[in-house]
Chains A and B, each alone.
Chain A
Amino acid sequence: MTQEEDLFERLKNLPPRGHHAMLGLYSVADGPDWVEMACPYDPRLLMDADQGLVASGPILSLIDAAAGAAVIARTRQWRPMATLDMRVDYLRAARVGQTLHARATCHHLTRQVAFLNCEVHDGSPEDRVASATLSFFFMDEA
């Protein structure tokens, strides 16, 4: 496959739009079946400014973004898809002021479904903030 035909590379370099742009999400690294994306700290992402409590909502958006990208990293093509389900375990509270990182891996593909897991940290990968599993459904006929 030539670089020109690689849809994943093309999508990766598009400027963020919509909610990705609002959160300032950006790509960090990727591999044949995984993508790491990050969400920079912003005081608007707090749940409680006095208690220094970071909202978990941005973690959900970051996971969804990284997972969607990981499906394309693995398939190397664009197929219309929808998130079927997502489960997130909150392992500890995120620290104020830290950039969040999510690394999603598409570990299995069937004709119509992609299965993923995703690990989230806020600085050191071995000290995770959240761990998630997701499935995506391809809406076209494979």
Chain B
Amino acid sequence: MIAETPYAQMLGICSLDAGVLMMPVSPDLEGRPGFLYGGVIASLLELACLEAVALELGGVDRRPRPVNISFDFLRGGEMADSFAQAQIVRIGKRIVNATALCWQGDRDKPIATARMHLMLD
């Protein structure tokens, strides 16, 4: 779902099972030399949150509006394929609380996490 959007395609993102998004490494995603750019790690986490909400709602017809998002950057991102998956913590009538994890080789060593609030129309 989210992987089909123009922006996700620009980043080369594809969706795997169970809401996992994969972003293949590319020189276009580099920040300081030798490291993945923090902004694209953040973008991948945010897209994973949107993917989880779309899966929960059964499609993208009802687009949630982002309210805010916070990121913790835990490790420098290597120039390697990156993965992200989000969990819906709570889905209410108007507000969705989501958390997301981004990892590379080892899921138990996440490189960044996110916490996001979204609003449903």
Contact = CB atoms under 8 A, between A and B. Distances in A.
Interface in A69-91: 82-90
A62 B65 CA distance: 20
Nearest to A46: B6
Contacts of A83: 38, 71, 73
B95 to A, nearest CB: 14
Contacts, number: 104
Interface string A20-53: 1110000000000000000000011111110101
Grouping DSSP codes into helix (H, G, I), strand (E, B) and loop, the B interface class, with mixed when no group exceeds half, is mixed
B6 A47 contact: yes
Interface of A: 17-22, 43-49, 51, 53, 55-58, 60-65, 82-90, 93
21 contacts: A18-B37, A19-B31, A19-B37, A44-B7, A47-B5, A47-B7, A57-B42, A60-B42, A64-B37, A64-B39, A82-B38, A82-B73, A83-B71, A86-B70, A87-B71, A88-B69, A89-B68, A90-B65, A90-B66, A90-B67, A90-B68
Interface of B: 5-7, 9-11, 27-31, 37-40, 42-43, 46-47, 60, 63, 65-73, 76
